[in-house]
Amino acid sequence: MRSQQRRSIQPQFPKNWSWRRTKPVISPEYIAGLTDGEGCFYVNLRLAKTERAKPTVETHFYIKVRKEDKPMLEAVKLALGCGAIYFQKEKRLNHTECYRYEVNSRQDIREKIIPLFTDYPLLSLKRNDFRIFAQISQMIDRKEHQTEAGFEKIRQLKSQMNYRTRRVRENRSLGGNSELALSYRNPPVKLAESVTPEASG
């Protein structure tokens, strides 16, 4: 069913987009399917520490797999031509050690990650996370996060992402301040009807 839905999609990647020809080669459909199962789109907010400083917003895309499956991440990294792979030691009981492929570069997010999942849509509930992620990414490109109203809108959009793990991550990103984490639970912000990758300036 997944292959039938995606076969009709005609990719529209930017002119500078190219799939690496060095083996092993994997398809964008494969990356989309892997992301449906093991991927995550995450937005990290950092509040200004001084009156003169401005809050910052970081966008992250990652795929996490068991350490035995590291070759899958190496293939993804080779195909996309960006990102890095990190070993993630697991201290929790009943959890295995794993590797994480992560893309943090704003340029790579804008020119590779967003076009990829726009042309090869996710089939799981993570497609909603991606829509919000892409909308926030475009707001950052327009520097809307540097205004009080823009940062607040991003904060509200973020509250609609990664529902199961949002509370834990907010506590971590805000230095364990549970009151600030709770303040993220604001009324939902209307999402953009569609996501169109913006040309880099």
Higher per-residue pLDDT: 24 or 176: 24
* pLDDT for 40 beyond 70: yes
Higher per-residue pLDDT: 46 or 25: 46
Please give the Cα distance from 37 to 103 (Å, whole number). Answer: 17
Pick the CATH number of 23-182 from 3.30.470.20, 3.10.28.10, 3.90.550.10, 3.40.50.1370: 3.10.28.10
pLDDT at 191: 53
What contacts 187, CB < 8 A, 6 or more positions away?
156
Give the residue-averaged pLDDT of 36-60.
88
Q: What is the pLDDT of residues 49-78, one digit of tens each?
A: 777 778 889 999 999 999 999 999 999 999
Cross-strand pairs, 99: 65, 87
Q: What is the pLDDT of residues 90-120, one digit of tens each?
A: 776 777 889 999 999 999 999 999 999 999 9
pTM score? 0.70
Give the residue-averaged pLDDT of 119-138.
96
- Nearest alpha-carbon partner for 28 in 103, 79, 100: 79
- Nearest alpha-carbon partner for 155 in 185, 195, 130: 185
Please give the Cα distance from 72 to 86 (Å, whole number). Answer: 13
- The strand ranges marked E within the chain are 39-46, 56-66, 84-88, 98-103
Residue with tokens 């327009």: 142
* pLDDT for 183 beyond 60: no
Q: What is the pLDDT of residues 75-93, one digit of tens each?
A: 999 999 999 999 987 776 7
pLDDT at 119: 96
Could you tell me the residue ranges of all domains in the chain? 23-182
